[in-house]
Chain A
């Protein structure tokens, strides 16, 4: 049933102005998701340049300076252009539907926080065409190296400012919505897990984004206004930047991964046909992870020369994160245990997260242990580790959520066969791509190099082949989405058998304004 026509009076404007001026959470959610998908392909194309150059030893395709631009932009685009906007897109679509609200609490702010994003993304990509090229000092932007950036330097800083503003405004909106607009009867401890994880993530964003914005502003003044925050010659300390960066950077990985945990905590119970096991402990574990994530940042810096006490503290605090993370994994297992499972595409991707994110967690504990980290640090081992957590953690969860809610959003079932094909090809090629990188790192291959010694050649070739396949098969996802938007088998309101949650009480697709009358939650 399409009820959008029942609400003509409040319906969308037509044409381009609908998208520019919209304050509707579904329109804005769509735009976030489209930008995220587009940036996923842009960042992915850069990754393919990297893997193509590393296919064999010697320099074949690009020069080292351009290679460094590719690694830098790939990371910035995937983190800030793809994963984070996708998660905000999910929040926009789903938070009002899941808490029984008609829209986000601050719709105009919502419009603005979205529209900052494409401009920031275009500005970042445009640096490729500037004198001196795009930023090439890594997404971590360590000084003094980053200060050798050409004309792109101030644009890099300003991009970070815009993206940070966009994220903070989005986070404020999500917090205000969740705190104020829940349906009567929905107490905090009755909220769906996805809403909980986003609430906690939004607080993390507000806590750390300003620190990052401040740190890059200090870079800017060091460069142009003669300050010496990070300049040793003027009494500053380049390592201070690393502390500030990772005070933001470590929570940032949880900003990407906590909503992913929330997504699969929705999906697994639905396809196990059994309520989420240990709901309360799930909430507390999420909060514990968020808190710990803010006090462990220097484990990214075990090689900068820290006192023993510093290394011990950051090591102990870091590996402690394994405890609440373990609780979450065990809860997912217990949810599946003695369930009645089926394995549609969303469930496959969710199970992929449970297996492969957990694998990334194992290597995480190995790296959190300071003495062994000295060998892994800045080698391909870490590259493998963070792709296991961010691709098979965050990106797989995004795919899981997209397949899960696509029928609700479009009103049509997606092509299940293609979805499953997408999962299996993605999961297999991902492991061909990243598993050998553990071996490369242990064998001593540093990260961020455009060319390598001959003994690294074999595994690099395997990895590149996995990379090419991984890149190409993502087009299947694009095709599945386009197909589902254009039509197909109509989806029922409930979509999935006995799925829990307010979103399944609405029509598929839901009306332009979701809940004009607040539903009652018992």
Chain B
């Protein structure tokens, strides 16, 4: 369901295609679980189908008897009530049969649990997933690649009262997708930074809570290239509905290429932090960072939500000393939803967003912050 049919043909490129409209229309009146693309999702789908048919058969039997009785044993048809009140044999039978049916379904269910929990096997790739309010962080443990994945700008721009009907993959698109190779055993380590989240990709047949301070494990081996979409499944606050998950499964060689690009981009970012930035450059970049990292709470216009999230416009901290401003952005505020962004944003991003907040959104302090200032504060 979350897999657009076109994306397999386009071999992992963004799922742009003329047939996409048809695929969406087909999905719209969807009735059932999708079989998915991993051994776990298929096992779960088979078990789901089995359980559903068992229930259907029992329902036909039970409700059949009931409706037959309702039709025939009614007073208006002259039915006279019988006098029986119990029957030991019948009662033993209808206690035993459900018990046997349950044993019948418990056997495949037990096998499926054991399959799901085979996390101890050697993994080809390990990816650490961390839930934040309201985004995901992905770290490729052996590759030195890590990044945040936020709701895509296309969805963000219309989510407050706009018309989503023309937005492709509304609420199911991110700025940075998680890219993985097909037919490799992937180990996911799942945790959270603030509150409990839950990482769910229906096509993988797995959902695990991301719990601060604890590390959960899952595994997947994806057999079909494509784009797979999911969402946070555990209520995690205001923007719980706005932290989608997008996984792109590619061939091994394309995956290696992507990793190399990511590593290159990280080096370029480090180099950029070393140079001195012009104010206009900082503000332009700061606006982008503000919209992805800050606007969910403090709002796009900086007004905040009274009583819940403070305003940026006219804030004493923002219009105060650079040091105090950097401190709250980098270290957060304990006991509130304000996160410590030192671990989430690069030196350049922090410098840009702080500069932006001081000189936009109705503030005009005038100064700006350089990446080197941020770097100095990190120690």
Contact = CB atoms under 8 A, between A and B. Distances in A.
B55 A455 contact: no
Given A273-B81, A319-B102, A459 B86 contact: no
B48 A330 contact: no
Nearest to A497: B75
Contacts of A144: 194-196, 212
Nearest to B206: A374
Given A58-B158, A274-B82, A371 B47 contact: yes
B1 A443 contact: yes
Given A232-B214, A362-B59, A341 B1 contact: no
A272 interface: yes
A273 B51 contact: no
A358 interface: yes
Contacts of B59: 358-359, 362
A280 B66 contact: no
B343 interface: no
Given A68-B240, A148-B336, A443-B30, A375 B205 contact: yes
Interface string B154-178: 0000111111110101111000000
B90 A137 contact: no
A238 B235 contact: no
A73 to B, nearest CB: 14
B307 A308 contact: no
B258 to A, nearest CB: 25
Count chain B CB atoms within 10 A of each CB in A238, A372, A449 and give the residue with the most: A372
Contacts of B70: 336, 341, 351
A391 interface: no
A320 B102 contact: yes
A119 interface: no
Interface stretch (A208-216, A310-318, A413-421): A310-318
Interface residues of B, number: 104
B276 interface: no
A458 B171 CA distance: 16
Contacts of A343: 74
A264 interface: no
Contacts of B308: 65, 132-133, 150
A442 interface: yes
B74 A340 contact: yes
Contacts of A339: 69, 73, 79, 81-82
B200 A369 contact: no
Nearest to A341: B74
Interface in B168-221: 169-172, 194-196, 198, 200, 202, 205-209, 211-214, 216-217
B30 A446 contact: no
B69 A333 contact: yes
A358 B31 CA distance: 21
B27 A443 contact: yes
A42 interface: no
**What range describes how many residues of A lie at the interface?**
35 or more
A277 B85 contact: yes
B69 A369 contact: no
Interface stretch (A28-36, A321-329, A467-475): A321-329
A444 interface: yes
A137 B234 CA distance: 10
B5 to A, nearest CB: 13
Given A238-B212, A333-B69, A442-B33, A278 B86 contact: yes
14 contacts: A68-B237, A142-B235, A144-B196, A320-B102, A327-B91, A333-B66, A336-B66, A337-B69, A369-B51, A371-B43, A443-B30, A453-B169, A455-B27, A455-B30
Interface of A: 57-60, 63-65, 68, 131-133, 136-138, 142, 144-145, 147-148, 150, 232-233, 237-239, 272-281, 303-305, 308, 311-312, 315-316, 319-320, 322-323, 326-327, 329-330, 333-334, 336-343, 351, 354-355, 358-359, 362-363, 365-366, 369-372, 374-375, 377-379, 439, 442-444, 446-455, 457-459
**Nearest 7 interchain pairs by C-beta:** A232-B213, A449-B241, A371-B112, A305-B216, A362-B55, A338-B82, A378-B233
Interface of B: 1-2, 24, 27-34, 43-44, 47-48, 51-52, 55, 58-59, 62-63, 65-66, 69-70, 73-76, 79-87, 90-91, 94-95, 98-99, 102, 105-106, 109-110, 112-114, 116-117, 158-165, 167, 169-172, 194-196, 198, 200, 202, 205-209, 211-214, 216-217, 230-242, 305, 307-308, 335-337
Given A338-B73, A446-B240, 19 more contacts: A57-B165, A64-B240, A65-B305, A145-B236, A148-B337, A274-B82, A277-B85, A279-B86, A315-B106, A338-B82, A358-B59, A375-B33, A378-B198, A379-B233, A439-B31, A439-B32, A442-B30, A443-B31, A455-B28
